[in-house]
A = this chain, B = another copy of it.
């Protein structure tokens, strides 16, 4: 990217990561960990392959991304973040927190990937009944399966399915997230097409963290 030419650390940071797609590539590498070109491309719907290739080269030159040959059986490269790249997590988080206020606007054609549910859950939600036995919640949003491990006060997420979840949620991503975060109640969620398999009351132990009161001011129509 063309340098802003300012002696200012904010401008210098943007000289490195200010290009289109760059911070979203870092987001995907943070969420997915070291992964292949194709995995990155799938996690960045809409990116042109030449752009992704070019950005990865620039990020490698800047020392934010490492490129390693995978184990011999598979002939592919694995892209991962260096320590410098991982140090961008506070930037991604600050952007993500600020961006929540725009996340509930209805946009019918937005793409969705399961791993994108990870951050809002980690940032905003908690297990409010840590003494109850751990449970797993299966979420299927836009056919993207995500598993929530709830217990001990925390919620851990991962992609994929799990054999016998305590509860299963299916629906559109914004509705599922809105329900989990408490923007809409069970009745409205069901009206919006969210299906709940299993005892819905188990889900009441998932609550927003208090410090993000901004979230609770949001409404979902």
Which residues in A have some Cβ–Cβ distance to B below 8 Å? Answer: 3-16, 18, 20, 23-24, 27, 45-46, 84, 87-88, 90-103, 105, 107, 109-113, 116, 119-120, 173-174
Closest beta carbon of chain B to A192's beta carbon, Å = 15
Query: Are A90 and B97 in touch, CB under 8 angstroms?
Result: yes
Chain B residues contacting A96 (CB-CB under 8 Å) are 8-10, 13
Query: Are A98 and B87 in touch, CB under 8 angstroms?
Result: yes
Query: Are A5 and B110 in touch, CB under 8 angstroms?
Result: yes
Partner of A99, one of B10, B27, B94: B10
Most B CB within 10 A of own CB, among A46, A94, A174: A94
Closest beta carbon of chain B to A10's beta carbon, Å = 5
Query: Are A5 and B99 in touch, CB under 8 angstroms?
Result: no
Closest beta carbon of chain B to A108's beta carbon, Å = 11
Closest beta carbon of chain B to A211's beta carbon, Å = 13
Number of copies: 2
Instruction: Say what secondary structure dominates the interface of chain A.
Output: helix
Alpha-carbon distance between A175 and B105 when the two chains are bound, in angstroms: 47
Chain B residues contacting A103 (CB-CB under 8 Å) are 7-9, 12
Chain B residues contacting A173 (CB-CB under 8 Å) are 7
Chain B residues contacting A88 (CB-CB under 8 Å) are 98
Given contacts A5-B46, A6-B113, A8-B113, 20 further A-B contacts (CB under 8 A): A5-B109, A6-B116, A7-B103, A8-B103, A8-B119, A9-B95, A9-B102, A9-B119, A10-B27, A10-B92, A12-B99, A12-B103, A12-B105, A16-B102, A18-B23, A88-B98, A90-B98, A91-B91, A91-B94, A93-B94
